[in-house]
């Protein structure tokens, strides 16, 4: 059994238990607490009269009214503020209309303004005036939503709203940062064939998840009064794109036999995203009305995951990724169930924080596994390239070896118009080894190889044929150019010997021949002619 597996499982269970305990303590602590002189900058106003009446002009024919009389104002920058969830609203102080929020005919969100804050700023002259708040539910699900009415300093209310949403905002930011890191990792290593590119889809899933949760908090519309429609659209569009990104990632976790099946699921998800956007743009149905369809798509995707996991378990051995996917899938479901229970029992949690934590943990864990696997594959690819390099290169000089020579002349077609063979032989290698040692002999070979490589570049391909013999396939169009290259080579040798007088002097005999398909039976005949010419030169150099 993998020794890391129990650690991973215990870590997941530990994180879940700690999160559950912290949430339970936060919402169900039984402590008697008394604090004198509490902050009076704001309060949650509950001393109002509530009534409902019928209005044919209201979206559902229902108007909810909250009224009370202002006895004093909290001071400078004081206001009345409450959160609207798919509701219209009006705020009157006396006979003066201080706030009104409705959807006009030009609004692309045809039936609702989404979720927004209603704010009415107060003055000292408003004391003893009657406050009337009229709320018009747009959907039936909004009828039973009783707003939390804040009364007091605007900045203090803002601090309270931000503080109550800070955890989910922080989780959203973390998710976005993690997603960007995954995508950046793929971009940096995009040319590596071993990399699992689906990590980018996981990154996109994390970004859309974080964007959805941040845009869906109460703090965002409080801080950005005139961008609530934008953030509502971001939240709901992020949900749909999040599903598509997740489908693309999860597809690569299964065997290739189910790729077609998951490609179809992905296409359905894309069609769904495009459809809800078109319905919105043409005023047929707004984003809120298609939310139930989004929930159905989520359920379908969950069922697809369950079915595929069962099929994989029945036909293949589940990989570590799939086992971890199954475990995290269970954790996300448990987190969502606990969040819903807390919401319905105490009404204290509506932001799916535990589910968000489980999803975030899943993204981190799967991303870690995917990146770790990718790094292993990248390292294997580098090692494979290194072994491949060693297989076709001479280890001492770095030039191509005789193995690659044989492959090269078999795979390439040569033309007599632009192909010369140059054979080269290092003189006095044995003498250098006998008098100065093999280290000096190795340096002599390396220096000779470097001079050959530099002198015939870029037209020549150099090879070490073995021992002190080298060969260059020179692609030039005439014998004059070939001789010019050889003169440049000899000049380089002479310059090297002058510059590095302490080194054993380089002396290299050479011979060349032009490939001629009419007289040469094969490329080996050309090589032999060049080799014969080289030995003639070698004898001449020894006599000199």
Q: What's the pLDDT tens digit per position in 337-348?
A: 665 565 555 444
What's the CA gap between 192 and 384, in Å, rounded? 13
Least confident of 180-194, 296-310, 462-476: 296-310
> Would strands 62-69 and 96-101 be described as parallel, antiparallel, or unpaired?
unpaired
Highest averaged pLDDT of the listed ranges 22-31, 295-304, 395-404: 395-404
Reported as type and span, the H/E element at residue 49 is strand 49-54
What's the CA gap between 376 and 362, in Å, rounded? 21
Mean pLDDT of 394-423: 86
> Would strands 420-426 and 469-474 be described as parallel, antiparallel, or unpaired?
antiparallel
Q: Which of 255, 247, 257, 242 is nearest to 211 (CA)?
A: 242
Q: Give me the pLDDT at residue 40, please.
A: 54
Token reading at 176: 């976005």
Token reading at 412: 């390439």
Mean pLDDT of 184-191: 82
What's the CA gap between 196 and 192, in Å, rounded? 9
Q: Give me the pLDDT at residue 18, please.
A: 45
Flag whether pLDDT at 13 surpasses 80: no
Q: Give me the pLDDT at residue 281, please.
A: 64
- The answer to whether residues 118 and 101 touch, using CB atoms and an 8 Å cutoff, is yes
CB atoms within 10 A of CB 276: 24
- The answer to whether residues 111 and 103 touch, using CB atoms and an 8 Å cutoff, is yes
Left if phi > 0, otherwise alpha if psi is -120 to 50, otherwise beta: which for 50?
A: beta
């Amino acid at each position: 059994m993998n020794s890391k597996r129990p650690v991973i499982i215990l870590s997941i269970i530990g994180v879940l238990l700690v999160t559950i305990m912290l949430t339970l303590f936060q919402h169900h602590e039984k402590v008697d607490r008394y604090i004198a002189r509490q902050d009076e900058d704001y309060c949650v106003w509950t001393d109002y009269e509530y009534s409902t009446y019928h209005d044919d002009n209201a979206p559902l024919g229902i108007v909810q009214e909250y009224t009370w009389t202002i006895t004093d104002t909290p001071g400078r920058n004081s206001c009345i503020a409450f959160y609207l969830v798919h509701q219209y609203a009006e705020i009157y102080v006396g006979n003066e209309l201080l706030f009104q929020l409705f959807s006009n005919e030009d609004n692309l969100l045809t039936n609702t303004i989404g979720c927004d804050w209603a704010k009415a700023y107060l003055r000292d002259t408003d004391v003893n005036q009657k406050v009337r708040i009229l709320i018009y539910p747009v959907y039936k699900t909004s009828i039973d939503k009783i707003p939390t009415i804040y009364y007091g300093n605007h900045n203090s209310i803002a601090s309270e709203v931000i503080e109550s949403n800070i955890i989910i905002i922080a989780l959203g930011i973390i998710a976005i940062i993690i997603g960007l890191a995954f995508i950046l990792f793929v971009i940096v290593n995009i040319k590596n064939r071993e990399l699992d590119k689906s990590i980018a889809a996981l990154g996109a899933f994390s970004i859309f998840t974080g964007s959805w949760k941040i845009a869906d908090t109460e703090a965002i519309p409080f801080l950005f009064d005139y961008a609530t429609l934008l953030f509502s659209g971001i939240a709901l569009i992020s949900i749909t794109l999040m599903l598509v990104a997740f489908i693309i990632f999860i597809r690569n976790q299964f065997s290739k036999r189910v790729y077609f099946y998951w490609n179809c699921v992905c296409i359905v998800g894309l069609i769904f995203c495009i459809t809800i956007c078109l319905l919105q743009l043409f005023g047929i149905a707004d984003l809120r009305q298609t939310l139930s369809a989004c929930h159905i798509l989520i359920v379908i995707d969950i069922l697809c995951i369950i079915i595929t996991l069962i099929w994989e378990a029945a036909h293949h051995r589940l990989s570590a990724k799939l086992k971890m996917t199954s475990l995290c899938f269970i954790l996300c479901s448990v987190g969502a169930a606990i969040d819903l229970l807390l919401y319905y029992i105490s009404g204290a949690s509506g932001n799916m924080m535990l589910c968000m934590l489980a999803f975030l943990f899943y993204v981190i864990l799967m991303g870690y596994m995917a990146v770790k696997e990718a790094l292993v594959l990248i390292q294997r690819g580098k090692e494979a390239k290194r072994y491949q390099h060693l297989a076709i290169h001479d280890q001492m000089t770095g030039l191509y070896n005789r193995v690659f020579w044989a492959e090269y002349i078999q795979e390439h077609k040569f033309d007599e118009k632009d192909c010369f063979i140059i054979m080269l032989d290092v003189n006095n290698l044995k003498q250098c080894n006998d008098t100065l040692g093999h280290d000096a002999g190795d340096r002599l070979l390396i220096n000779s190889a470097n001079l050959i490589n530099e002198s015939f570049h870029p037209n020549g391909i150099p090879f070490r044929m073995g021992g002190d013999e080298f060969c260059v396939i020179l692609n030039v169009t005439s014998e004059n150019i070939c001789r010019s290259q050889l003169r440049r080579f000899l000049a380089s040798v002479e310059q090297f010997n002058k510059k590095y007088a302490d080194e054993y002097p380089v002396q290299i005999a050479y011979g060349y021949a032009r490939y001629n398909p009419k007289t040469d039976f094969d490329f080996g005949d050309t090589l032999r002619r060049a080799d014969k010419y080289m030995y003639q030169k070698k004898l001449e150099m020894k006599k000199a």
